[in-house]
Structures are given as C-alpha cells and as structure tokens.
Amino acid sequence: MPSLTRDEALHRADLLSVTRMEVDLDLDRGAETFGSRTRIHLTASGTGATFIDCKPVTLHSATLDGEPLDIDGLIEGRLPLPVTTGEHVVEVEATMGFSHDGEGLHRATDPADGEDYVFSHLFLDAAPAVFACVDQPDIKAPYTVTVTAPAEWKVIGNGAATTSETGVWHLSETKPLSTYFVALCAGPYVSVLDEHDGIELGLWARASMAGQLEEHADEMLAVTRASFDYFHSIFGIRYPFDDYDQVFVPEFNAGAMENPGCVVLRDSYLFRGAVGRDELLTRANTISHEMAHMWFGDLVSPQWWDDLWLNESFAEYMAHRCLVEATDYSEAWIDSTMSRKSWGYSAERKPSTHPVAGSPAPDAKSALANFDGISYAKGAAVIRQLIEFIGDDAFLTGIRDYLTAHSFGNGTLADFLRAMEEASGRELDGWSRAWLETAGVDAVEVARMAGTVSRTAPGAYPADRPHVFDIATYDGGVETSRVDLTLEGSQAPVPGVDLEAPLVLPNAGDRTWATPVLDEQSLDSLRGQLPLLSDAQARAVIWVGLRDGVATARVDPRLLVDLGEAALVTEDNDSIFSRAGMHLTGRVIRVLLPDAEQPAARARMARVGEKVLAAAEPGSSRALHAARLVARTTDDVEGRLVPWSQGRDLPTGLEGDVDFRWILLGQLSRRGVIGAAEIDRALEEDRTMTGQLGALTARAAIPTVEAKGEAWADLTTNRERSNHELVAISAGFWGPEDLSLVEPYVERYFIEVPLMTQWLGEDALSRVAAMNYPSRFVNEGTLALSRACLAREDLQQGVRRQMVDAQSELEEALASRTAFPG
C-alpha cells in the first residue's frame, strides 16, 4: 500500500478538517474479524478531490452526507472522496481483520487459560486497519467510541469506559487526538485500581498474570504518582486527559505506546521471576517516559513525522530527569549512558544516521525508519546541552509557553525554537543547525603534551557544535582533578587538569553528546585503573567509549575482554555490569574476536560470573546478574547447566524461576544435551505465553540438520506465527557451536526473509530481519550476499533499513579482525 507523502498530507490538511469522530466496533464476531462503523464529521474549505484511509477485509458501504460512495474505488487503502465547501458526514461500514503482527488491532490467545486478548497499536499508519479515518498526525479530532465485546470481557480506551445492560461499552468523548493515538484494549483483563490527585489510575494485565500484577503494583503506582507530581510541578499544566490506565499486553512490538489515558506496555515488564534493580529502573523509566508523552506528543503532537523528536527526545529526557529528582532511582543517568546512549552512538556510526530534527521524511514510512537511538538518546543529550546553553529556568519557561500555545494541536521545530528564544533572549538558529539539524557525533580528546582538548567532527557531517562538558582525572581510582569547560571551537586549553594522572577522561560526567577518545597512556592504564574507579558515571563513560572504539577498529576487542575479567568482578552498578557483560558476550566475543579465540574468552567471562556469584549477597541483584552471566557462558554442563535446569543447587532467589530455567534449557539445547522431548516436557510445566516463547527458542537451537530445517521453515513459511513467536525462533536459530549447521541459511536469509513481507507487517518483519541477519559469519562472502540483496529495488523499506544497519556492523567486524588479527 502507498505510504502517505508529506505533499499529500499538506494538500489534504488544507482542504479538510475533522471536527468529530464516532467509531463503533464489534469485537464479538469471532477470532479473525471484527465489525467497524465510522462516522467522520468534517469541514471542507473548498471543492476538491481527496480520499479517506481505510484498510478493510471487506468494505460494505460508504456514504457522503447519506449518498453512496463508489466502494469499488477503494484502491490500496484509499477511498476517493469528492467534497464541496462546507460541513459533511462520511459513514463507512467495514469488516476488519485482527492482526497477529503487533500492528492494528492485535489479537492473542493466552496458552495458560485459552483466553483471547485484544489491543490496538495504531502507530504509525495502522489506524485505517481498525476504522476509516483521515490518517495523518496534524488532523486531530475528538473521538467517541463504542465497543461490542463478549460478556466476560473488559474494555479500556482513551476515555473512561462504562457498559450498558446490552454489553455495549461506551468510552467517554476524548480531547482532540491524532489518529495514531486512539487506543482500545479488550479481553478478560484484571486490574489494580487506585487514585491520585483526582486522577483515576488503573493497572491491567491478563488474568493469568494477576499474581504478578498485584506483586508489582505498589512499585509501579509509586512511580506513576511521583511522575504525575513532578510533571505537574515543572510543566505548569495538569494532566490533560481522562483516567490514566496502563495496560500490560502480550506480543507488543515496542516497549510501550503513549496513547492518551491508555498507555500500552509489553507485559514482560510484569517480571515473573527474579528481577535486577536495573530492570526495575528500566520499567520505572518506561512508565515515566510514557507519562511525559501525555504532554510531549499527546497534548502537542508533531505536525509531520520529521518532528517525532518533539515526542521522543523530550520524553526520554524528562523521564530520566524525573527518576533522578523524584524517585529513588538516582542512578538513572548512569543507566542512560550504558543502555540508551550506547544505542544512540551505534546509530550514529551507521550509514542510516540522520539529524535529530528535520530529517527528510517525504512519506510516513521514511519517518518510521528514523525512529531510533538518535531520536531518543541523542535528542535527550541535545536537550541537556540546550539547558547548559540557555539555563534551566529559561528552558522550563519555554516548555510551558510551547505547551500552552499549542495545546491539543500540533507543533514544529520552529515553534519550539521560538518559545526557547523568547524565554532565554538568545538566538538559536545556529545552535539548532549544529545540534539538531546536522547528523553525526563529535569525538573529544585530551592531548597531554599540548595541554589541550580537541573536538573532531565526522568528515561526512561537519558542524561547529559547542560542547559544555567536564574533564576528570584519576589515580588509583580516586579523582585528582575535574574541570568544567565550554568548547566552542575545535580546540581549547585545559588549565587545572592533572595531566600527570594515569587516567584522563573527557566528558567524565557524560553531559554532552560526544565520544571520549582516550590517549594511549589512559588506555594503557585501564586494566589497573578501571577496577578501582569509584565514580560509576565515569566507569559507564569508559565502557561506552570503548564500545565505540572497538566498533571503529581503534581499540583491540581483546582489551575489553581483559577489562571484563578485571573490572566486572568489582562492579557494583547493575546497569554497568549487565550491559557491559551483554556487550562482551553478545558482540565482542561472539562477533569481533576470531572464531578460534571465542571459547577461551567465554570461559573467562564464565569465571567472572562465578567469582561475582560467590562474593555477592545471596538473592541480590548482583548475584542474579552473575548467575545469568554464568548461564550464558559456562561450559560446565554437569556442574552448572544440568543441575540448575533441574532445580538443584540454584543460587538463592532463583528457586522456581522459570525464565532463568529457559535460559539454561536453551544453552543445553544448543549443545545437543537435550532435545525436543525434554523441551516439550518443560513446556508442559510452563503452559504460559513466556514458556511457549522459551520452547520455540530452545527448539530452534537444537544442533541437528533436521531441527534447523524445521525451524527455518517455521520461521519463513508459517503464516500463523505471531510477531513474538518469530523473534523467539530467530533468537535460537543461529547459535550452534558447529556453524556448518546454519551456513546454508546465510544465502537463504537474503532470499527468503524479504519475501515474508507478503504476510507480515513492516514493524514485525523489520525486527525479524534484524534478529536473523547472519552476523556470526564474518567474511567477505556474507558481505557480498548482503550487498547484492540491498541492490534489489523491491525490498520493503523497513527491511532495507535493518539490513543496511546490520551490514554496517558486519563491515565493522571485518575491519576489526583485519586491524587486530591476533
């Protein structure tokens, strides 16, 4: 189907405004389809031809002011609509299809009890698969929604829900919404209800997860209440919508979606086993992030998709700020460095890098491709630099003015900059061009002999970005000096810096968006200095800087393995330990090191895990992460993997943890120790959706020719598989110790995965394409196949983007192995 272009959107917005939407949905027609009736109240500014967006299974009727429209004219989701000046009502009746790929109106069956659950995910252009509409972000309207559902179901949406004796649910009329924010969740959901500051709060989940919901409700509600209080205090505008429901749904593609009054989150956040503090922090951050969207994105929405940063960058920044200032997660910025900024820096290294704002988005699908770590993490870092530039008081004043001026409407980069300029009295055009409108990340480096710090912009994206940051020095893990500075040119002196210290670290406080490049003396000192370093933020900056160093073939990946062995045994920050450990095992060892060196490096990480596990407080978050590291890396089948998988000799806190057991079963399956029969028995003991996914991963990992053939066929031809099931199969497929088992599928990947676009939505297929890229085959043959595939003109846009990015990582691996052959 064609993607709406910006020119088409501008033309349609000039011609039409929608004043009210009435949507009636009938979800009681079985598991495959549902009924959809829409009344669109609109006003035309003149006479002209335009179209309504509608993607039905069957279009039954359509009228304009009671007169039939030609339903045979519906082509590729567009129903022609001729209008004359004045007010009109368009009515459309259709049968729509439930999806299984996480887009539109998704329906999933819970294997624990056989119950079905429905949720909507209409971002970016999936709304027409649920109801007819004028689908673009700058055409907002109030919605009234009615839903017919099975008698035992609950219905949750943007407006407060009530039900009549006939079983029809009525959702109260909303404030003006963009189409992609309309939300509907339906099924036998269970809830925990509360109230705060006059706002009704609801937490919802599948019936089979009632215990987990109740267990985690107090923590999640505490974060919710704190976030409301904090955002009310700094935005100066009360929460602008109805009740505030957070619905944890199965098989959700993203982390969460900020539908006004009805936030949808993936239900894996309702942890069913042992959980680390960093995982609780991640969930708290997601809760606060989605609430920040009630103002940034929902109250004020982007006029077009090139300004998505006005949603995501601000929610990213505000959530971390809120956690640090209003909750006990004071380490949130450290977690941001390890998890979010590393993601953003990786996006900057890829050919698909783009500016934070003003990225070319000629159509909606192009904008979706830029929904990445730049829009989130870099945007948040740039906001921190803006605050350094104009001051926090001016920033908050500008925010309030921007939100007030555009409430229930749309905003643009120009609108935002105007508000900031008026609040601060500073001209921001040059600052915006450098920071928001130009791609690329600068590198900052201290020259000891010269006593200077330099800034190097990427050659492909030159810009004069002013940086406000700090430089700190360390000896024996103790800080010996710290200097704040503003670097406006390419170089500046650094008076007051202890340049004799073993370790000199630019951007030690991680206040700016820049890669710290360590001088040779500092790099050489890390084996001794990093294990002693008491500054957790500095440790995070070093790890992320090294991540960039190995990716660009400036740093030998063996150094990271050495540092993992030396420094992770003393690491007491969950985010650093878990993220650095995952990067070491999943990227550095698995891909960057030559194949022959990988077993020994994994064994070293297993010893780290064992040491930390032995020293950690039993049942602590640190012990949990250590046990997971052991499970991922150990070759001790009889002493660790088998007894742990059988529930024997488990570390404290992991007794009965079925998620941990599936990690172990996956490792045993990958080694050929267990097979399908053992996996089936484990699934019988864990008849849940998570158990089903664990079993799919374990089966795909079985190291036989027959099992790999079955898994590949299941992945690429089974049209009944959900989005999450496909990802689960992908997670197990490429992991055998004997790579010859999967080598035949390298070429098949480039042929068969793109064909899945015939039945799988773009968001879901993009994730499958990324998960399945044969990254372990670091050779010129894989690169040649990849380049040949990307030369095709028929690749789906999202798949192309994922392959381009994965190919760039393959090229990084080849460059690293060439630079550091061993």
DSSP string, 94-149: EEEE-BSSSSEEEEEE-TTT--EEEEEE-TTTTGGGTS-B--STT--B-EEEEEE-
Amino acid identity at 353? T
Tokens matching residue 792 = 């095709």
- Rounded distance between C-alpha atoms, residue 331 and residue 486, angstroms: 25
State the Cα angle at 502 between 500 and 507, rounded to 5°: 95
What are the start-end ranges of the E strands in 350-460?
A: 409-411, 442-447, 452-456
Could you give the strand order of the β-sheet that contains 168-171, starting from the edge strand earlier in sequence?
67-68, 58-64, 86-97, 33-44, 16-26, 143-148, 168-171, 161-163
pLDDT per position as a tens digit, 321-332: 999 999 999 999
Share of the chain above pLDDT 70, in %: 100
Tell me if 199 sits within 8 A of 228, measured CB to CB: yes
How far is Cα 82 from Cα 46, in angstroms, rounded to an integer? 10
Beta-bridge mates of residue 409: 300
Q: Do 394 and 424 contact (CB within 8 A), yes or no?
A: yes
Backbone phi and psi for residue 68, each to the nearest 5 degrees, phi listed first: -60, 140
Tokens 């659950």, residue? 117
Q: Is the model's pLDDT at 658 over the cut of 90?
A: yes
Q: Are 156 and 189 in contact (CB under 8 A)?
A: yes
37, β-bridge pairs: 24, 93
In whole angstroms, give the CA distance from residue 748 to residue 743: 9
DSSP 665-679: HHHHHHTTSS-HHHH
pLDDT at 723: 86
8 Å CB contact between 147 and 113:
no
CA dist 182 and 135 (Å) reads 11
Alpha-carbon span 435 to 387, nearest angstrom: 13
Q: What is the pLDDT of residues 714-754, one digit of tens each?
A: 999 999 998 899 999 999 999 999 999 999 999 999 999 99
Q: Tell how strand 67-68 and strand 58-64 pair up.
A: antiparallel
Domain ranges of the chain: 1-187, 300-435
3-state secondary structure of 472: strand
- Average of per-residue pLDDT values in the chain: 96
Q: Per residue in 48-101, pLDDT tens? A: 999 999 999 999 999 999 999 999 999 999 999 999 999 999 999 999 999 999
**What pLDDT digit, counting tens, does each position of 505-515 carry?**
999 999 999 99
Q: Which token pair is 280?
A: 């609780």
**Residue found by looking up tokens 């920040």 in the block:** 292
CATH superfamily of 300-435: Neutral Protease Domain 2 (1.10.390.10)
In the residue annotation, 290 being an active-site residue is answered as yes
Give the separation between CA 566 and CA 771, rounded to whole angstroms. 31
Structure tokens at 554: 């400036």
CB atoms within 10 A of CB 409: 14
Cite the DSSP H helix spans in 552-652. Answer: 557-567, 574-583, 598-615, 621-633, 642-645
pLDDT in tens, 614-652: 999 999 999 999 999 999 999 999 999 999 999 999 999
pLDDT digits (tens, 9 = 90+) for 297-321: 999 999 999 999 999 999 999 999 9
Residue 40 structure tokens: 């669109």
Name the more confident of 165 and 735: 735
Beta bridge partners of 493: 452
Q: Which pTM value belongs to this model? A: 0.97
End-to-end alpha carbon distance in the chain: 50
Contact 15, 48 (CB under 8 A): yes
- Taking the C-alpha atoms of residue 266 and residue 257, their distance in angstroms, rounded to an integer, is 9
Distance CA 774, CA 746 (A): 6
Please state, in angstroms and as integers, the Cα–Cα distance from residue 187 to each residue in 101, 151, 204, 583, following that order. 18, 10, 10, 39
How far from 708 is each of 382, 497, 698, 726, 738, CA to CA, in Å?
Answer: 46, 58, 11, 14, 12
Q: How far is CA 186 from CA 146, 151, 268, 291, 465, in A?
A: 12, 11, 18, 22, 49
pLDDT at 25 over 70: yes
554-601: pLDDT as tens digits: 999 999 999 999 999 999 999 999 999 999 999 999 999 999 999 999
pLDDT for position 366: 79
Using alpha carbons only, how large is the chain's radius of gyration in Å? 27
Q: Which helix (H) or strand (E) holds 537?
A: helix 536-551
Q: What is the 3-state secondary structure (H, E, C) of 703-760?
A: CCHHHHHHHHHHHHHCCCCCHHHHHHHHHHHCCCCCHHHCCHHHHHHHHHCHHHHHCC
Q: How confident is the model at residue 167 (pLDDT cuts 50, 70, 90)?
A: confident
Under DSSP, the state recorded for 134 is -
HSE (side-chain half, CA atoms, 13 Å) at 485: 24
Residue 763's pLDDT band, with cuts at 50, 70 and 90, is confident
3-state DSSP percent of the chain in helix, strand and coil, to 5? 45, 20, 30
CB 510 within 8 A of CB 337: yes
Cα 52 from Cα 8, distance rounded (Å): 12
CB atoms within 10 A of CB 548: 20
pLDDT score at 590: 97
Q: What's the CA gap between 645 and 426, in Å, rounded?
A: 62
Give the C-alpha separation, 605 to 706, whole Å.
Answer: 32
Whole-angstrom CA distances from 745 to 371, 721, 753, 777 are 29, 20, 11, 11
Nearest residue to 763 via CA among 372, 369, 376: 369
Here the tokens at position 345 are 């820096």
Please give the torsion angle defined by the CA atoms of residues 634, 640, 644 and 645, in that order, rounded to the nearest 10 degrees.
Answer: 60
**Structural fold of domain 1-187:** Immunoglobulin-like (2.60.40)
1 pLDDT above the threshold of 70:
no
pLDDT class for 603, splitting at 50, 70, 90? very high
**Both tokens of residue 384?**
């921190």
CA distance 337 to 810: 24
**Band of residue 544 on the pLDDT scale cut at 50, 70, 90:** very high
> Any bridge partners for residue 800, and if so which?
none
Q: Which of 115, 279, 290, 331 is catalytic?
A: 290
User: Which of 338-352, 360-374, 508-522 comes out lowest in average pLDDT?
Assistant: 360-374
| pLDDT in the model for residue 719 | 94
